[in-house]
Amino acid sequence: MSGSLPHPYYQYCDLGPVPRRSPAPTPGALDMLHRVQAYRGHPVQQLGFITASTTFDAKENLDRLLLILTQPPMFTTLRVDLSKISAREAQHEIMISLKEQSMKTGLETFSMFWHAEFQDCLVLHNRGPNTVEKVDKEMMVDLACGMAVLRGAHVFVQGIMAAPPGKKLFIGNGVSQVSRSDVFNAYSRSVRGVGVLMTQPVFEAPCLAELSFPWLVPQNLPSIACVHALAPQPGELVLDMCAAPGGKTSHIAALMANQGKIVALEKSSERAKKLEQLGLQNVHVFAYDATKALSQDLVPQAERVFGPPFPPSSFDRILVDAPCSALGQRPCYVNRISVNQLMSFPVIQHKLLMVAAELLRPGGVLVYSTCTITLAENEEQVAKFLARRADMKLVAPSVRLGSCGLEGSQLDATQRAMVQRYDPGMLLADRDSRPSQDLHNVDTIGFFIAKFVKHKEEDT
Note the pLDDT tens digit of each residue in 394-421.
999 999 898 899 888 899 999 999 999 9
Q: Is the pLDDT of residue 40 over 60?
A: no
Contact between 322 and 448 under an 8 Å Cβ cutoff? The reply is no
For the chain, how many residues are written?
Answer: 460
Residues annotated as binding site for S-adenosyl-L-methionine? 242-248, 266, 297, 321
Question: For 72-109, how does the pLDDT look when each residue is reduced to its tens digit (9 = 90+)?
Answer: 999 999 999 998 999 999 999 999 999 999 999 999 99
172: which strand partners? 11, 201
Amino acid at 140: M
Q: Say if residues 282 and 251 touch (Cβ distance below 8 Å).
A: no
Q: Which amino acid is at 92?
A: H
Catalytic residues: 371
pLDDT digits (tens, 9 = 90+) for 164-213: 556 778 889 888 887 777 776 655 566 678 888 999 999 999 999 888 89
Mean pLDDT confidence for 296-323: 84
Pick from 211, 288, 214, 310: nearest CA to 244? 288
Confirm whether 7-39+130-205 and 220-459 share one CATH topology: no
CB-CB neighbours of 459 under 10 Å: 11
What's the CATH number of domain 7-39+130-205, 2.30.130, 3.30.70, 2.60.120, 2.60.40? 2.30.130
Looking at residue 407, what is its pLDDT? 85
Dist. CA 450–CA 44, nearest whole Å: 22
More confident residue, 442 or 437: 442
Domain boundary assignment for the chain: 7-39+130-205, 75-126, 220-459
pLDDT digits (tens, 9 = 90+) for 253-296: 999 998 999 999 999 899 999 988 888 889 999 999 999 999 98
| Alpha-helical runs (H) found in 24-85 | 30-39, 44-47, 55-69
Topology of domain 220-459 in CATH is: Rossmann fold (3.40.50)
Q: Which long-range contacts (CB under 8 A, 24 or more apart) does 81-84 make?
A: 81/120, 81/215, 81/216, 81/217, 81/250, 81/254, 82/119, 82/120, 82/254, 83/254, 83/257, 83/258, 84/214, 84/215
In this prediction the pTM is 0.86
Query: Residues at the annotated binding site?
Result: 242-248, 266, 297, 321
Q: Pairing between strand 160-161 and 138-141?
A: antiparallel
Distances (CA, A) of 105 to 197, 198, 281: 7, 7, 38
Determine the Cα–Cα distance for residues 370 and 321; give it in Å rounded to an integer.
6
